[in-house]
Structure 1
């Protein structure tokens, strides 16, 4: 899970239990590994040579499954982003053992100490990954970004590319990057603000050891290089979404915004964390003021992430415009095919249409099947993420049984109340008859058991 870091291995025993509970695969069936080995030797024959272009990648230093490489050029007032995406479909054919296993998995599952990949490592971390150790087959999207940050797809082609450098978020300098990199990120951010987008990128949490047997959860905000790099994927996914909509096809990422009840809970969470959220300011505008370097504001960003109704996938249908509330625009996933099954089919559709061809029947049929498959995969990933957070919270509070915390009610139903601890990024439940949202009272920690990931509070 990318949202939590455990460099000292404090959570190892609990993570092993989570893997067993959720049947997280530790490897691939032999026939899948054998098929992947054969596919890895497939030489690109339908690709133009773009190895002269100075592509680079930008990812966490330890990453080896590199989906994207990029270069950016100025063309008059516009910026031209060439975004090379791993050509997974070149190695994985419809119905082969690797494809069947990918449909079973849906997406890569992340835990703080490792991952269960969507594809075998010989592909995901070697031949299909855009590593700088040789030419790689890719799908190159040409995306034009105008001064207002509007992104438009100009072309899609299969190409062989060679990355010049594997850059890392924590060590990259502006001199390593294409000159317009920061300008492109700024344009995309400005366009988001005009649309009223409300993407929340919570900081990563890290488990750290304190004196004795005490632990804490600290926050590591996203680095500026991470935020800017995300703009490249955002611009491409927006451009591809518009392109597919124009052709009346596609698979879209859709999400409704938080309902009134969720927003009311968030206002109580903000109050519990000591944040000033004026009544006249809506959630989207308040989110844009948050600073992930502040622990209280970082905790609220996590609360926002958990408050949404969740995103899903929907194929294009006449008369129903797909909408992503957080992006405030139609949106697709097309830039991480090594990690998400859906991306491979969105890419295939965009490539076919850009080449003046019909979308393959296999892709159109996949668009109808993928929402259920991806929903199941997202649900498993979400349950694992929740379990990891629960584990981290119980480890942090273990040994503090009997301690009294201030709490504020964010939601209440019957004799049960959902509470946000004051000054601590923990949401829990407590028995409290007739509790009302916004009410504050002290609670005593009765139990914090890392083995069962259970927290128990009682009114103090």
Structure 2
């Protein structure tokens, strides 16, 4: 799970079982690695020189697959974001061995103890990655942001860049960052609030063993630089989504609003965490009040991510406005081509449109196929996330068999009652005949099984 770290390797055996169960590849076939080694030597020949621009990257300290570098300048009352994106399309050609393997994978997949990359490391962590150790080919999107945070694409070009620094969320000081980044983020937040967006980023979770001998789940506070950096991709992807829609092509990231049953369940989850969700407030309005650096509010944010209908990829359809409810905008993924297959094609299409060229036939044809490919990859990622979360939850409970816990019944379906423990970020199911969603109960932990990632509870009594 992207949002779950295991710094002490306390879940190692369970994570190894997940890799086997999900049939996750341990490496790349030798012929794909050989093709990647050859591709890494491909010299750029269609790129203008932009090495004079002061690009930097901003990522977790441990990241080496750097998709984005950025520079920001003023243009009258507007801000211009020069967003350099790894030019994966320069190294990977349609139908080659690297491409075929990428279509089989769809995305990079993440577990707490490591990732399964979309592309071999010689590309994703070396030749194509925007590291500050030399010149790199990139696609630069220039995004204009007005004082109210409205973003539009001003241009796109293939270019050679040189990153000045690899900055990290954990250690970057204000003086290290481009001076206009805070103002860019402030404007983007204004636009987000105006749209009524409900996007809340969940901080990373870590499983640690406490002094009491039990495992605990703690949330790593999000750095201000991390939130500001997210606004760069968000604004760029919205600007690109608008361009693609206007030209009747593309692949869009979409998500529907949660249905009434999901909202009711989340209201019960909020109650379990002791959060005050006003009856008249929508889920989006309530989400915008959350502080992801407060553990209970962060845990609720994670519950929203798990409970939603899920985002998907939809290719352009005439007469349909693709919409992402959490972003509250038409939105396309373009800024992480080292980690998502679809982004490479969105980048190619946008590059063509921005320079007055027709979208390549192979790119347009790919959009029609990518929805299923990305859905399959997202579904696998969802199963991995759920398995990792289940493993972490059972680890938190181990050794507490026989203890009782206050809980809230958040939902009931054909599989029984879903409960949310009030003092721990743990969801489980129980047999609770006669109980209703919203009921407060005390449950006893009867058993845990780390190997199968399951826990068993029973109701002791109903609370009032």
- Aligned match of 2:26: 26
TM-superposed CA distance for 1:294, in Å, is 1.8
Matches within 5 A, 1:153-302: 153-211=153-211, 213-302=213-302
- Aligned match of 2:349: 349
TM-superposed CA distance for 1:414, in Å, is 5.1
Matched, 1:311 2:339: no
Q: For 1:185-224, what per-residue CA distance to the aligned partner results, in whole angstroms no more than 9, with x for missing partners? A: 0111110100000012112111111135411111113211
Equivalent residue of 2:138, what SS? strand
TM-superposed CA distance for 1:2, in Å, is 2.0
Matched, 1:75 2:75: yes
Q: Contact (CA 8 Å) 1:391, 1:450: kept in 2 or not?
A: yes
Q: Contact (CA 8 Å) 1:200, 1:304: kept in 2 or not?
A: no
Cα separation, 1, equivalents of 2:203 and 2:28: 32
Q: Could you tell me which runs of 5 or more consecutive residues in structure 2 were left unpaired when the two chains were aligned.
A: none
Q: Contact (CA 8 Å) 1:415, 1:435: kept in 2 or not?
A: no
TM-superposed CA distance for 1:141, in Å, is 0.2
- Aligned match of 2:16: 16
- Aligned match of 2:457: 457
- Aligned match of 2:89: 89
Q: Contact (CA 8 Å) 1:415, 1:434: kept in 2 or not?
A: no
Q: Which consecutive aligned stretches of 4+ in structure 1 deviate over 6 angstroms post-superposition?
A: none
- Aligned match of 2:149: 149
TM-superposed CA distance for 1:434, in Å, is 2.4
- Alpha carbon RMSD of aligned pairs, Å? 0.9
Cα separation, 2, equivalents of 1:75 and 1:427: 50
Cα separation, 2, equivalents of 1:194 and 1:270: 25
Inter-CA distance 321–415: structure 2 relative to 1 (3 Å threshold): closer
Q: For 1:232-287, what per-residue CA distance to the aligned partner results, in whole angstroms no more than 9, with x for missing partners? A: 00010000001111111110001001111101001111111111111111111111
Q: Matched residue pairs, number?
A: 460
TM-superposed CA distance for 1:413, in Å, is 2.5
Matches within 5 A, 1:54-69: 54-69=54-69
Q: Contact (CA 8 Å) 1:202, 1:221: kept in 2 or not?
A: no
Q: Contact (CA 8 Å) 1:83, 1:140: kept in 2 or not?
A: yes
Matched, 1:394 2:394: yes
Q: For 1:345-366, what per-residue CA distance to the aligned partner results, in whole angstroms no more than 9, with x for missing partners? A: 0000000111111101110110
Matches within 5 A, 1:120-159: 120-159=120-159
Q: TM-score, normalised by structure 1?
A: 0.99
TM-superposed CA distance for 1:306, in Å, is 1.0
Please identify, of 207-216 and 174-183, the stretch whose mean Cα deviation from structure 2 is larger.
Answer: 207-216
Q: For 1:298-330, what per-residue CA distance to the aligned partner results, in whole angstroms no more than 9, with x for missing partners? A: 111111111110000011111111010001010
Equivalent residue of 2:164, what SS? strand
Cα separation, 2, equivalents of 1:239 and 1:293: 29
Cα separation, 1, equivalents of 2:232 and 2:413: 43
Cα separation, 2, equivalents of 1:358 and 1:272: 54
- Aligned match of 1:383: 383
Equivalent residue of 1:310, what SS? coil
Please identify, of 249-258 and 200-209, the stretch whose mean Cα deviation from structure 2 is larger.
Answer: 200-209
Cα separation, 1, equivalents of 2:52 and 2:298: 43
Cα separation, 2, equivalents of 1:23 and 1:197: 37
Q: Contact (CA 8 Å) 1:414, 1:434: kept in 2 or not?
A: no
